[in-house]
Amino acid sequence: MCEHAAWSATIVAVTLAPDPRLADSALLKAARGERPQHTPVWYMRQAGRALPEYLKVREGIPMLDSCMNPELITEITLQPVRRYGVDAAIFYSDIVLPLKAVGVDLDIKPGVGPVVAQPVRTLADVAAIPDLTPDQVPFITAAVRALTAELGGTPLIGFAGAPFTVASYLVEGGPSKDYARTKALMFGAPEIWRALMSKVAGISAAFLEVQVAAGASAVQLFDSWAGAVTPDDYRSFVMPYSAQVLARITSVPKIHFGVNSAMLLDQMGEAGADVVGVDWRTPLSWAVPRVGERAVQGNLDPTLVFAPTEVMTARAAEVIEAGRAARGHIFNLGHGVIPSTDPDQLQRLTEFVHSYPLA
């Protein structure tokens, strides 16, 4: 990462003191269970995918390279904030980036996803994975400091993959539809599973700690594949390690999100979340009673942005109304922005959410 050292040095003087305007952030108020001035809104995967300006700056640059360049991280993270006026920026990164930073041999193959050269099979494989230290990710500190200076009163949400999802890539060697190797290890070699999950939990926690130390105002722990396990198996094999990550983040609100996780929402909250993300398959009215005294985030079906505007906004209104029953509500899609989404439609959705009366 030496090519970024000089750039990093130029922002060392940026203050780490929080911008006083953050105290009035609608998103942070909702996360804390306070009453915001409007329903806050941001979109998972807003930093990229559908934006033409993102495609332009990323042209010819491999995904992981873009995630290790502080100038690109900063620009891409800011793009949706400039365009939409959303209530938070989500740090531009990738779930497997911390593994790359500690030396795991992996790459993101276009059209495939993360591919690991030597999948984990043994305790020795786990032991060979180093822990993450801040000096391995100076580009993260540099980018976060630059972002918080630019964002002012708009919060930056830190990003990390949850242990189960990250471990599944390490075990499967790449994306999977059935997670057969992951579950075989989990059920058949629990000692290896525990060692791997503890290792990944430490890496994810350290990655979030770097972002918070540099100025992130909240964090989100993404467990994209958590819905692949039953509630009992989640409690035994997954939840303790997500809890390890969240327990290390003590100074900012914590959002915990999983896909296909309706039956896990109570446990995802118990793991230490202040805000529980709800995907689009689960009615928010059903989810709110299950997360206890926690805020919720979500959960418009991402495909509704392809519907006529009046249909999209009518469904968004239903989500906002259902969110009133929660301790706090942050509007979001029920997962990420689909790459073919029309940015103008997301702009209209943002404006609708902001203008929707809370009284």
Q: Of 206, 275, 209, 272, whose CA–CA distance to 242 is shortest?
A: 272
| CATH number 3.20.20.210 given to 2-8+25-355 | yes
Q: Is the pTM of this model over 0.85?
A: yes
- Which residue type is seen at 94? D
pLDDT at position 48, please? 85
* pLDDT tier for residue 10 given thresholds of 50, 70 and 90: very low
Active-site residue (options: 43, 84, 92, 169): 169
**121 part of the active site:** no
> Measured on CA atoms in the order 142, 146, 149, 154, is the torsion positive or negative?
negative
Measured CA to CA, the distance from residue 254 to residue 248 in angstroms comes to 11
**169 part of the active site:** yes
**35 part of the active site:** no
Position 12 pLDDT exceeds 90: no
Residue 201 to residues 23, 25, 194, 205, 223: CA-CA distances in angstroms?
A: 30, 29, 10, 6, 12
Active-site residue (options: 43, 54, 83, 94): 94
Position 37 pLDDT exceeds 60: yes
Position 359 pLDDT exceeds 80: no
pLDDT tens digits for range 102-160: 999 999 988 888 999 999 999 999 999 999 999 999 999 999 999 999 999 999 999 99
* pLDDT tier for residue 16 given thresholds of 50, 70 and 90: low
**83 part of the active site:** no
What dihedral do alpha carbons 52, 332, 231, 179 form, nearest 10°?
A: 0
Position 49 pLDDT exceeds 90: no
Strands 275-277, 254-258: pairing is: parallel
Position 312 pLDDT exceeds 80: yes
pLDDT tens digits for range 328-347: 999 999 999 999 999 999 99
Q: What percent of the chain has pLDDT over 70?
A: 96
Active-site residue (options: 49, 121, 194, 235): 49
Beta bridge partners of 158: 219
H/E stretch holding 254 reads strand 254-258
Active-site residue (options: 19, 32, 58, 281): 58
SS (H, E, C) 79-113: HHHHHHCCCCEECCCCCCHHHHHHCCCEEEECCCE
DSSP 117: S
**45 part of the active site:** yes
pLDDT tens digits for range 153-187: 999 999 999 999 999 999 999 889 899 999 999 99
pLDDT tens digits for range 52-80: 999 999 999 999 999 999 999 999 999 99
